[in-house]
Structure 1
Amino acid sequence: MSDYYIQSLVGRRINVNKGGPEAKAGELLYSGYNYVVVGTDKDGVVYYATRHLKSFGEVVQSDNETGNGDENALRTWDYFKPSCFSAILDNMLGENIQINRGGPESRQGKLLLSTYDYIVLSTEKEGAVYYKTEHVKSVSVVQRKADGEGDTESSNESGRKTSRASGKSTGKASGRASGGKTGKASGKQSGKQSGKQRCESSSQSANTIAPDPEFYQEYGFNDLFDRLKLRKVKINRGGPDAIEGMLTEYVGGYVVVYGEKEIHRILPKHIKSLSSL
């Protein structure tokens, strides 16, 4: 696919790939040295590595037929225009990002490190995950506003429900024992206090920032194999290429991993991601 052809589509609505997890529709915002920038409806600005793109489809329907023409025409996009794809990742350090749109290698997390050939992502379930940059198909910054609003609404609703339930229950119990007015007052006060405490607790929990996991910083991705030697690792996140076991050595151009039932020898070029278990 020629650079001239891609450049000619800038500003137009396109379909990236015809199917699969990386397929997205949006406005082609920019075409760089080895990447393109696409403004999408759901994921915001997505940066695609052109080496992984299979096709571009120009949307030929009119704005009225697509239903998104007016909205996209009025929308402004904020995005990076660095020299290359790896430089995009450098600009996202410390951000909560999504690697790939879907599939076994897709993960969300805080970007801890970006080097010339690998990155380190802090994930909720797997800790520090090392991704080889050449296997990253797309990347985007996770939209914060929607997540924050959802947490706030959830916390407030939890507080209101707890308040109603606790007040009603305590009021009835106290009313039977010591009289209607006392029961109502006790229930109302207890309900307010309980609901308030639960709501504050939920808000504090939502705003708690987990510490970053420990990770290794090496010159290149292949240097990590020596660092993780004699440790249990997970190679690739899922699918038929995922392997778990003890990394024993990196010798003769192969990474040797002792699994439960067999010894695996893997070529480094097929390792998309790596993490310690």
Structure 2
Amino acid sequence: MNKEWLTNLVGKVLKIDRGGPESRTGLLLGIYDDHLSILTEQEGVIYYKTDHIKSITENVKNGFQFQLEIPEDFTFKAADNFIDILDDLRNQWVNINRGGPEKLEGVLHDVNDEYVTLTLNEEVIRLAMFHIRSISYGARVEKPKEDEKSEKNKDNKDDGKSENNKDDGKSEKNKDNKDDGKENNKDDGKSEKNKDNKDDGKAKKNKDNKRQWKRKKKIKIIKQKKKKNSISHK
């Protein structure tokens, strides 16, 4: 397969082969001279020799299901060619091939251009390099546990509730302040009206007092005139 074309697919979730024991779905991590690496949910990082891959499928509409959250510090082995990857895996427990009669697991001890040597219990197994289609060594990302997912969803839900309650509290406070303002305005209106009424009452009383004073003065003047006239007649 064309390396340049495959490089454009790095970072996408793909399906290797349409079926059979070697078919897996995972995130394409890298493209190299004679192999590629993908991250799967169940088996972690798998290295596939490109000359054994029959097809690569990309779901351009909905995408394949992939639930792993890759941490920023996640690392995996990488090399330009497949035999260098095998050299890096010496003395580690590996799984060779995904299925079929040539599926093997054990500790990888020796690597050369013709074959690899594994040990499993009392057995020493030599497998021709040509028959190795894929290999994995256990580098994986753990799936979030259901409890952690539930807790995370609960926290998000609680945060949403707290934010809503906070907003409701603000709204209620603003409403109360608004109502208080209306009530104060209403009271101010009453006070102003009472003041006006009080001022009107005072003005009216002063006016009445002034009239009464004028009336008394007029009566006093009339009485004085009558008294003067009486004295004159005598």
In structure 2, the CA distance between the partners of 1:144 and 1:47, relative to structure 1 (3 Å rule), is: closer
Give the alignment's TM-score, normalised by structure 1. Answer: 0.47
Q: What residue in structure 2 maps to residue 133 of structure 1? A: 129
Q: What residue in structure 2 maps to residue 42 of structure 1? A: 42
In structure 2, the CA distance between the partners of 1:45 and 1:134, relative to structure 1 (3 Å rule), is: same
Q: What residue in structure 1 maps to residue 180 of structure 2? A: none
Distance of 1:74 and 1:142 partners within structure 2: 16
Q: Secondary structure at the match of 2:6?
A: helix
Distance of 1:106 and 1:53 partners within structure 2: 16
Q: Secondary structure at the match of 1:18?
A: coil
Instruction: Give the superposition deviation at 1:40.
Output: 0.5
Q: What residue in structure 2 maps to residue 84 of structure 1? A: 81
Distance of 1:78 and 1:88 partners within structure 2: 14
Distance of 2:92 and 2:98 partners within structure 1: 17
Deviations 1:183-206 (A, max 9, x none): xxxxxxxxxxxxxxxxxxxxxxxx
Contact 1:96/1:141, CA 8 A, preserved across alignment: yes
Q: What residue in structure 1 maps to residue 19 of structure 2? A: 19
Distance of 1:39 and 1:77 partners within structure 2: 11
- Structure holding more strand per residue: 1
Distance of 2:27 and 2:48 partners within structure 1: 13
In structure 2, the CA distance between the partners of 1:122 and 1:113, relative to structure 1 (3 Å rule), is: same
Contact 1:39/1:77, CA 8 A, preserved across alignment: no
Does 2:118 correspond to 1:121?
yes
From 72, 91, 95, give the equivalent of 1:94. 91
Q: What residue in structure 2 maps to residue 68 of structure 1? A: 66
Alignment of 1:237-276 (within 5 A): none
Instruction: Give the superposition deviation at 1:81.
Output: 1.9
Specify the structure having the higher radius of gyration (Cα): 2
Gaps of at least 5 residues in structure 2 are 143-234
Distance of 1:131 and 1:95 partners within structure 2: 16
- By relative contact order (CA 8 Å, sep 6+), the higher-ranking structure is 2
In structure 2, the CA distance between the partners of 1:6 and 1:78, relative to structure 1 (3 Å rule), is: same
In structure 2, the CA distance between the partners of 1:60 and 1:141, relative to structure 1 (3 Å rule), is: same
Distance of 1:34 and 1:11 partners within structure 2: 19
Alignment of 1:184-199 (within 5 A): none
Contact 1:45/1:77, CA 8 A, preserved across alignment: no
Q: Secondary structure at the match of 2:45?
A: strand
Distance of 2:141 and 2:24 partners within structure 1: 22
Deviations 1:231-257 (A, max 9, x none): xxxxxxxxxxxxxxxxxxxxxxxxxxx
In structure 2, the CA distance between the partners of 1:38 and 1:102, relative to structure 1 (3 Å rule), is: same
Provide the alpha-carbon RMSD of the alignment. Answer: 2.4
Instruction: Give the superposition deviation at 1:44.
Output: 0.4
Alignment of 1:155-170 (within 5 A): none
Q: Which AA in structure 2 matches 1:118?
A: Y
Distance of 2:72 and 2:100 partners within structure 1: 29
Percent of pairs with identical residues: 29
Contact 1:28/1:39, CA 8 A, preserved across alignment: yes
Give the alignment's TM-score, normalised by structure 2. Answer: 0.55
Q: Runs of at least 4 residues of structure 1 off by over 6 A?
A: 143-146
Distance of 1:142 and 1:108 partners within structure 2: 11
Contact 1:21/1:102, CA 8 A, preserved across alignment: yes
Contact 2:43/2:140, CA 8 A, preserved across alignment: no
